[in-house]
Amino acid sequence: MTTADAASVFSVFRTTATATPDAPFLILPSGRTDGTGTPVLHSYEAVLKYVRARADAYAAAGIGQGDRVALLIGNRPEFFVEFLALNALGAGIVPLNPDLRRDEIQYVLEHSEARLAVAAAALEPQLRDAADGLALQIATSRFGEPAHLPVLGPARTVPSGIGHDTECALLYTSGTTGRPKGCVLSNLYFLEAGGSYTRHGGLAAMEPGRERFYNPLPLFHMNHLAVTATAAMLLGNALVITERFSPSRWWGEIVECGATIVHYLGIVVATLMNAPPGNLDRAHRVKFAFGAGVEPQLHGAFEDRFGFPLLEVWGMTETGRVFIANREPRQIHTRAFGKAFPGFEARVVDEHDRDVPDGTDGELVVRYSAATPRRAFFSGYLKNDAATEEAWRGGWFHSGDVVRRDTDGMLYFVDRKKNIIRRSGENIAAAEVEAVLQAHEKVAQVAVIAVPDELREEEVYACVVPMPGVRADSALLDDLLDWCGERLAYYKAPGWVLFLDTLPTTGTQKVQKTQIFAAGEDARTRPGAFDVRHRKKRG
């Protein structure tokens, strides 16, 4: 089925279920780690039956087009029953991150104006605690079981006006400052996000009815919910449901479930490379991996060891579609992530939105086309028109990412715009320093930030989590500084180093740099911080 033929995500799912009723849609691993278990398969027809029953229950409870329902379910099969049932009625979902604290969940519940909140049985106490004091009804979701929903109003019927512009989901993005912004995402956004993925071709070519996706990223993230799941439905392929990334379960689940396409983040690659060789390293059927953030130093080594290409992509919640480096030469020794294509145009601009020459760093701005720049992007930030229009100034969406484009049109990631360190007139990409430190065998995690410097404006400050069993002492400090000195220009090396036990991360394992230090705290005064600026010498 093509995206042009579909009105909604549910209509795609229904069409596929009718055409290939016995094809597996959801695959649940057995829990074994040796790859010899027997997974549980749920067919498109079986899931459609559950979805229709759930949709009838929602309609009888008074839920319909224009309503929002919050879901605290995590990566469980019941998530898709709730999502597709609500989409069939023209209602939107608000997926909640189970790792959020009470006040964070409460903020989303209030800001989204959800009419109902639904939790997996294991997460219901957490939801009830967060919703305490709110005028909000709560229900429980159990896969395959009858729905027991509170009555919120008169019974609703399925409207005839569900289409591309109907809201499908409201996803909250983690910002660098302030509260998260709610991105309103339409059916068209989902259809194009998944449809574009199926059309990339090259090393990312897919076969209808033959692919099984293994995506450990959360379902409150566009990568899994919009891109992967919709692509699967469009081609009658299957989704392996795993709770989250686990290095001990990774290969066993992939082999057992017959996964052919996997999704990753940089931390996944680094963790798997740190593991000792095993007999499942090459026992899989994986054709390619789709993701972002692999360190160039690890890219080729990973592919050589495990036998499939890591295809780097770039995308945001706001964009839906992604750029992808899916054709040779992929330039895996760099941070190349692909080229612009019809329906996803790109420019690289300076602070005045003027094009910069190829080979020059600038901000990535994107659009669909000159005629319809916002087509299939997010519909806007909920209750924040000013932020929406600021992001779209000049008819281009401003990503906040610093990139570089070469004369062939290949785009290279440099850093987040706010992660550029300005030292003595030199612009230093925090991501570049992080990549070098992360490649060290004694480093588990690293985050590089800028701190004030009285002489040089800003200085490089590295927060390092050592590998288990490695002592955080002066010997490790010397080792890391020597390592950086051999791989970075002197001015890029850390001027400050702090060893920590952990770094705060999001549900997608992205480091939250703004939460490492308290607001107003001077990182240079943190006990245990090593001032090594005197060791940064030209020569």
Of 417, 435, 462, the residue that ends a domain is 417
280-284, 505-509, 511-515: which has the minimum mean pLDDT? 505-509
10 Å CB burial of residue 38 (0-12, 13-18, 19+) is exposed
Q: What is the DSSP pairing of strand 40-43 with strand 24-28?
A: antiparallel
Domain check: are 412 and 437 in the same one? Answer: no
Tell me the two tokens of residue 200. 């990339």
Bridge-based pairing of strands 457-466 and 496-499 is parallel
For residues 146 and 219, state if they share a domain: yes
Amino acid 331: pLDDT = 97
Other Cβ atoms within 10 Å of 374 Cβ, number: 15
Q: Which of 417, 440, 465 is where one domain is finished?
A: 417
Residue 425 has pLDDT above 80, yes or no: no
Closest by CA to 308, choosing from 251, 256, 349, is 251
Does 147 lie in the same domain as 83?
yes
More confident residue, 368 or 158: 368
Q: What is the mean pLDDT of residues 259-281?
A: 93
pLDDT at 373 over 90: yes
Q: What is the CATH number of the domain that holds 485?
A: 3.30.300.30
Task: Give the range of the structural domain holding residue 230, as residue numbers without chain letter.
Answer: 3-338
Q: Looking at the structure, do residues 206 and 78 belong to the same domain, yes or no?
A: yes
Predicted structure pTM score? 0.85
What's the confidence (pLDDT) of residue 176?
40
Are 432 and 531 members of one domain? yes
Asked if 352 and 441 sit in the same domain, the reply is no
| Cα distance between residue 539 and residue 533, in whole Å | 15
pLDDT band at 103; cut points 50, 70, 90: confident
Asked if pLDDT for residue 369 goes beyond 70, the answer is yes
Instruction: Give the strand order in the sheet containing 336-338.
Output: 336-338, 411-416, 397-405, 362-367, 345-349
Q: Is the pLDDT of residue 389 over 70?
A: yes
* DSSP secondary structure letter of residue 226: I
Confidence of residue 258 (pLDDT cuts 50, 70, 90): very high
Q: How many domains does the chain divide into?
A: 3
- Paired with 445 in beta bridges are 465
Q: Tell me how far apart the alpha carbons of residues 41 and 238 are, in angstroms, rounded to a whole number.
A: 9
Task: State the pLDDT confidence band at 99, using cuts at 50, 70 and 90.
Answer: confident
Cα–Cα distance between 48 and 18 in angstroms, integer? 9
- Residue type (1 letter), 396: W
Beta carbons within 10 angstroms of residue 67's beta carbon? 21
Given a cut of 80, whether residue 174 has pLDDT beyond it is: no
Give residue 538's pLDDT. 76
pLDDT digits (tens, 9 = 90+) for 273-324: 989 999 999 999 999 999 998 989 999 999 999 999 999 999 999 999 999 9
Q: Do 411 and 428 fall within a single domain?
A: no
d(CA 143, CA 139): 13
- What is the rounded distance in angstroms from the CA atom of residue 458 to the CA atom of residue 433? 15
Q: Are residues 352 and 331 in the same domain?
A: no
The rounded distance, in Å, linking the Cα atoms of 432 and 350 is 21
In this structure, which amino acid lies at residue 54?
R
Over the stretch 51-62, which tens digit does the pLDDT of each residue have? 999 999 999 999
CATH number for the domain harbouring residue 224:
3.40.50.12780
Region 38-58: mean pLDDT is 98
Beta-bridge mates of residue 347: 365
- As a whole-number percent, the residues of the chain with pLDDT over 90 amount to 83
Measured from the Cβ of residue 481, the count of other Cβ atoms closer than 10 Å reads: 18
Among 398, 417, 436, residue at a domain's last position: 417
**pLDDT number for residue 4:** 65
CA nearest 172: which of 228, 101, 111?
Answer: 111
Q: Is the pLDDT assigned to residue 177 strictly greater than 60? A: no
**Count of C-beta atoms within a 10 Å radius of residue 448:** 28
Q: What is the reported pLDDT for 175?
A: 46
Can you tell me the distance from the alpha carbon of 22 to that of 45, in angstroms, rounded to the nearest whole number? 6
Arithmetic mean of pLDDT over the chain: 94
Is 336 exposed, middle or buried, given 0-12, 13-18 or 19+ CB atoms closer than 10 A? Answer: buried
Task: Based on the fold, state whether residues 380 and 343 are members of the same structural domain.
Answer: yes
pLDDT band of residue 3 (cuts 50, 70, 90) is low
Lowest mean pLDDT among 172-176, 393-397, 511-515, 520-524: 172-176
Same structural domain, 175 and 281: yes
How high is the pLDDT of residue 194? 98
Closest Cα to residue 315, out of 306, 324, 302?
Answer: 324
d(CA 220, CA 229): 12
pLDDT at 514 (0 to 100): 86
Beta bridge partners of 310: 289
Residue in this structure with the two tokens 């920590």, named with its chain if needed: 500
H helices within 275-415, ranges in order?
Answer: 296-306, 385-391
Residues 152 and 205 in one domain: yes
Higher model confidence: residue 91 or residue 6?
91
| Mean pLDDT score, 386-397 | 96
Whether 107 and 208 map to the same domain: the answer is yes
Sort strands 288-292 and 261-265 into parallel, antiparallel or unpaired. parallel
What per-residue confidence (pLDDT) applies to 147?
84
Residue 178 pLDDT greater than 70, yes or no = no
At residue 58, what is the residue type? Y
Nearest to 106 by CA among 114, 177, 91: 114
CATH number at residue 360: 2.30.38.10
Question: What SS3 string covers 424-439?
Answer: CCEEEEHHHHHHHHHC
